[in-house]
């Protein structure tokens, strides 16, 4: 029996949550954006009414207000949206024990075996829509397929454009409905890959599906094989709640509030980011041996920056050890120009149940100190203990403590 997978997506998630909780917004074009007071930032979510004016996600707030002068702008509340996302997970878990969050507003659900309890897939999709609508006041779209990739494309390319908000994409209607679409509509194909595919005569998803697999593999290796499988509707990855339990890397990135021009002020933020990365690594009892550093230049018209990584001599989850290597890596590739964003990540994990002893360095003491600092922050808040550099004008620790994912809680 073929499996049945749903991709449940919430329409205009952030904006829909705000409108559901604030009746005075009913009938108004609403967007959720960075900083309504200063009228700056980008659009994170736009309700359907706002989209009817041509407003799309990721455009600037100033551009959105030009398109719709009477636009209602709401500041993001990320803590609220995360709580709503968890509530949706709980609703989906009533229908299946196999629920896999894909993003804050999208979740996969395997309903194979649930039909005897709740009905056929279409009936279950309607019940899920009704439960989410009743309990949270938001509208869910449901893509149905035999695997994750087909359910994702069923939702993105068809369910979102239908009044019912439900569409099923299977191997039976794949050629009729999916193959005629432009190749850029295929999951996993971006603008650059789209240009590459068109340069060799592939314009539609169907043409990619029928293209000789060996030629794709010679040109793009494993990625070429994956694209061919996706175009033909094959996906072997299971729906599993444990998707995010085994992390390959832990990282933090932030857009800076202004141009950071000197090594001294960049150093402050990099140290704070290393502190947060190591705190999360310790929380999962992990040591990492690969450090990655990236930045973006301040001139948006002439993009500059880099992303580089290196393997450290020994695995660590200690802030100063990570910072030492991250800073050297940054200095090696920084062009000396102002930057506007900075990030660092730690990978190559192993368990922290064993640490390498050193004759001239009391690593056990440092290891214990890190966990004690984590416990203090856990009990009394993220800014209950900070490094002195965070008190300088360049420090961002206090500002970041008020945010989730770069936006205010």
Cα 348 from chain centroid (whole Å): 21
Nearest to 146 by CA among 170, 114, 174: 170
* Helices and strands, counts by H and E, the chain: 15, 14
Express each pLDDT in 104-117 by its tens digit. Answer: 999 999 999 898 89
User: Model confidence at 402, in pLDDT bands (50, 70, 90)?
Assistant: low
Express each pLDDT in 223-250 by its tens digit. Answer: 999 999 999 999 999 998 876 555 678 9
In a domain, 4, yes or no: no
Cβ-in-10-Å burial (0-12, 13-18, 19+) of 53 comes to middle
Report the alpha-carbon distance of residue 274 to residue 378 in Å, rounded: 18
User: Model confidence at 196, in pLDDT bands (50, 70, 90)?
Assistant: very high
Active-site residue flag, 37: no
Element (H, E) at 213: helix 213-220
Long-range contacts of 57-60 (CB under 8 A, 24+ apart): none
Cβ-in-10-Å burial (0-12, 13-18, 19+) of 246 comes to exposed
271 and 220 part of one domain: no
Express each pLDDT in 276-328 by its tens digit. Answer: 999 999 988 899 999 999 999 877 667 788 999 999 998 999 999 999 999 99
pLDDT at 369: 79
Show the beta-strand stretches assigned E in 217-362: 249-260, 286-297, 305-316, 339-351
In a domain, 132, yes or no: no
In a domain, 125, yes or no: no
pLDDT-above-70 percentage for the chain: 91
Q: What is the mean pLDDT of residues 241-263?
A: 81
Contacts of 305 (CB under 8 A, 6+ apart): 294, 295, 296, 297, 339, 341
pLDDT at 385 over 90: no
pLDDT at 408 over 90: no
**How many CB atoms are closer than 10 A to CB 295?**
27
pLDDT at 24: 95
Confirm whether residue 235 is marked as ligand binding: no
Nearest to 295 by CA among 363, 341, 335: 341
User: How many domains does the chain fold into?
Assistant: 3
In a domain, 95, yes or no: no
pLDDT at 170: 95
Domain of 299, in residue numbers: 249-408
pTM of the model: 0.75
182 and 57 part of one domain: no
Name the active-site residue from 100, 106, 265, 272. 106
286 and 384 part of one domain: yes
Q: State the pairing for strand pair 40-46/403-404.
A: unpaired
357 and 331 part of one domain: yes
Cβ-in-10-Å burial (0-12, 13-18, 19+) of 260 comes to buried
Most confident of 25-34, 135-144, 236-245: 135-144
**Least confidently predicted of 63-77, 190-204, 228-242, 247-261:** 247-261
3-class DSSP state of 46? strand
User: Model confidence at 54, in pLDDT bands (50, 70, 90)?
Assistant: very high
Q: What is the mean pLDDT of residues 35-50?
A: 77
Q: Which CATH number characterizes residue 181's domain?
A: 1.10.150.20
Confirm whether residue 9 is marked as ligand binding: yes
Cα 69 from chain centroid (whole Å): 31
């Amino acid at each position: 029996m073929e499996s049945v997978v749903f991709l449940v997506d919430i329409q205009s998630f952030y904006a829909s949550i705000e409108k559901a909780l604030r009746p005075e917004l009913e009938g108004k074009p609403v967007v959720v954006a960075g900083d309504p007071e200063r009228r700056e930032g980008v659009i994170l979510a736009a309700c359907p009414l706002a989209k009817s004016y041509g407003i799309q996600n990721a455009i600037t707030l100033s551009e959105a207000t030009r398109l719709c002068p009477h636009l209602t702008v709401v500041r993001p509340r990320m803590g609220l949206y995360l709580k709503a996302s968890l509530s949706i997970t709980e609703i989906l878990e009533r229908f299946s024990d196999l629920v896999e969050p894909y993003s804050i507003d999208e979740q996969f659900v395997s309903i194979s075996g649930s039909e005897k309890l709740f009905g056929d897939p279409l009936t279950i999709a309607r019940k899920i829509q009704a439960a989410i609508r009743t309990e949270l006041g938001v509208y869910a779209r449901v893509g149905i397929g035999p695997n994750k990739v087909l359910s994702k494309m069923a939702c993105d390319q068809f369910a979102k454009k239908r009044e019912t908000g439900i569409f099923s994409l299977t191997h039976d209607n794949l050629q009729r409905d999916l193959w005629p679409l432009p190749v850029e509509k295929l999951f996993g194909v971006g603008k650059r890959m789209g240009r590459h595919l068109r340069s060799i005569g592939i314009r539609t998803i169907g043409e990619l599906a029928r293209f000789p697999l060996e030629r794709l593999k010679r040109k793009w290796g494993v990625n070429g094989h994956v694209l061919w499988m996706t175009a033909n509707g094959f996906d072997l990855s299971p729906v599993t709640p444990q998707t995010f339990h085994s992390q390959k890397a832990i990282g933090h990135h932030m857009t800076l509030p202004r141009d950071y021009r000197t090594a001294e002020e960049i150093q402050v933020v990099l140290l704070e980011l290393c502190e947060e990365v190591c705190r999360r690594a310790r929380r999962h009892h992990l040591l990492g041996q690969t450090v990655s550093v990236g930045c973006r230049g301040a001139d948006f018209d002439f993009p500059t920056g880099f992303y580089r990584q290196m393997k450290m001599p020994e695995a660590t989850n200690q802030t100063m050890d990570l910072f030492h290597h991250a800073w050297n890596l940054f200095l090696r590739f920084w062009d000396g120009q102002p930057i506007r964003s900075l990030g660092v990540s730690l990978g190559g994990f192993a368990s922290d149940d064993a640490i390498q002893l050193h004759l001239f360095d009391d690593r056990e003491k440092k290891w214990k100190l890190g966990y004690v600092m984590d416990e203090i922050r856990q009990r009394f808040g993220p800014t209950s203990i900070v490094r002195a550099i965070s008190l300088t004008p360049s420090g961002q620790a206090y500002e970041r403590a008020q945010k989730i994912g770069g936006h205010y809680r």
